[in-house]
Structure formats: C-alpha cells, structure tokens
Structure 1
C-alpha cells in the first residue's frame, strides 16, 4: 500500500484513521475534518471506563475488552448519515472486519505509519492522555497492517498533519468524490 492508491469510498465518506497509539490519529482527523467538512470522532472517547482504567494502569487490553468498544465504534460509523472520520486503532484485521461488518463493506482505512522511535517521542510529549508509553510495544506487537484487499492506504507520519490530510483528500478526489 502507498499514498498513491485510490480508496473506494461511500458517499458520504466513512473513513477510519488507524494505527498504534501516538501515530497522530486525532491530529490528522482534526485536519482532515477541517479540510473536508466531514465530522471527526476519536474512538478513545468511546472506550468504556473499565478499558480506560485498565490502560491507565499500564495493562494492555485483550480482545474481550475491545469487542464492546469496537461495536460502539461500528455503530457510530453506521449511524453517520453525513459521513464520519473515526480515529480508531483497529490494530487487527479481525477488528477491521468487525467494523466493516457493522458499518459496511465500503468503509475505508488509512493506516498512519511511523517508526517506534518517532511515535515514542510523540507519546512522551502528550499531556493528560491515559495511554502510557509502556503499552506502545504491545500496540506494535498486536498491529496487523491492512492487506491489499482491505480498501486501505498507508500514509507516513513523517510530515505535518495538514499535509497528511491533503494526501488523504487527494485519494478521495482522485475518484471524483468530493467530501466538502
């Protein structure tokens, strides 16, 4: 996958910005929302309090912890009449399949990729976030990059969020879909 691929998008678009904690889902989501007019929602805000407390304590979530949260994320996507950009880790294919099953096969994924070192630095600079740096390695261990058949593109986080948003927007416009 590369930024040169085109995404098959619904109209209105429903996009999941995915990747490990600290990759910039919130920053890119806000920039993409501002650029396109499509609302952004952070899936971190959809976690049940038990998940937040577990992560805050430095305990990695299990699949059993994630399923109710992923269902809530899928419901948000499915109910988004005007389109939605969702920042959601979606680390495993089975998680992305779950989102697609509830939200529709045309769901597009944008995998924000960066090195462990860059992401670690970003996580250390965050203020008031419940996800501790100690869980970064578990995120990378869980990550299954999207396959060629998953309606996904990969974008490097080595450029500012506004530039990443413009790259993603270009993938939409390439197909003639205008989100704004």
Structure 2
C-alpha cells in the first residue's frame, strides 16, 4: 500500500488479531489500536460470562473503533476488530471511508487450540461456535484480503503485508 490507510485486522476470536495487529502496524510504520480496548465494560462482562454479544451490544463498540479509524484517515493505522458481519464492516466504512480489511482465516481446530492456550483473555472457547455462525467473510466488493493463520506470527504478518501491497490501485 502506497498511501496510509487504516487497516482493520478482522476474524473470529483466536485467529491472532491481537498478535498480528501490532506486528502489521510495526511493519507498515503506523500506530496500532487494540479493538478489545474499545468495548464497554458491560460487553466484557457478557463475554466473560459466556454470553455472545448482540448487534445492539456491538453498536457503541463499532462506533468507537470507527471514530478512531476516522481520526487516523490519511495518517494510517491498524486496529483489531472481529468485524464478523458485513453490516459491521459497512458501519466502520461509513465512519471511516477507505478502511481496508485483513481477514485472518484458519481451520477451526487450529483456532480452538490457540484459544485454549491463551492466558488472561475474557473470550471463552465456548463462544467460538457463535463466532463462526456469525461470520460473513469479506465479499468481492469489499476492500480487503484474506490471510491464512497457519504458521508463526512473523510469517502471517508478512503474508498480510504482501497481500495488502497487492490490492488494486483503486484501494490504494
């Protein structure tokens, strides 16, 4: 990518958004924001209790991320956000036109295994099924790329950076 875009690192829980996001930001030379930090405490409490969030719950969270992304327009940045539904991504694009998505994808068994080894995260493995049920992958008309999460963090980050560099000029 030749111009500074805001990149949203998206995907179901356990794909590595919090690991890959900062690495990608460093690779691109832009700031990183952790999407989980934008959640209201009520959302964290719900997820910690094993209760999936509703679209209504996600609204203020998406708006906060969209506001951050809007503030980084023309400067660039990377933010993690599950952005599982097209409507969520549309909401982010409405707040910050020009955002680009990196959809971290992978085998469910691999993702569940990685989730089970996380320490101190509020999202339980029990919610993974609801994440996959909610997921609507990027569509052809959405600016973004899919990146497989097999391999190590540096390898995944490099794949993401190369995929972003290959986006059509209309996105860049």
Q: TM-score, normalised by structure 2?
A: 0.92
Aligned to 1:6: none
Instruction: Map 1:73-112 onto structure 2 (within 5 A).
Output: 73-81=65-73, 82-104=75-97, 106-112=98-104
May I ask how many residue pairs the two structures share in their alignment? 168
1:26-80: CA deviation from partner (whole Å, max 9, x where unpaired): 1111211222211111111110000000000000000000011000010010011
Aligned to 1:65: 57
Shift of residue 10, structure 1, vs aligned partner: 7.9
Provide the C-alpha distance between the structure 1 equivalents of 2:11 and 2:40, rounded to a whole number of angstroms.
20
Structural RMSD (CA): 1.7
The answer on 1:143 being equivalent to 2:148 is no
Shift of residue 153, structure 1, vs aligned partner: 1.0
In structure 2, relative to structure 1, the CA distance for the partners of 1:157 and 1:52 (3 Å cut) is same
4+ runs of 1 displaced by more than 3 Å? 171-177
Structure 2 alignment gaps of length 5 or more: none
Structure 1 alignment gaps of length 5 or more: 1-8
The answer on 1:42 being equivalent to 2:34 is yes
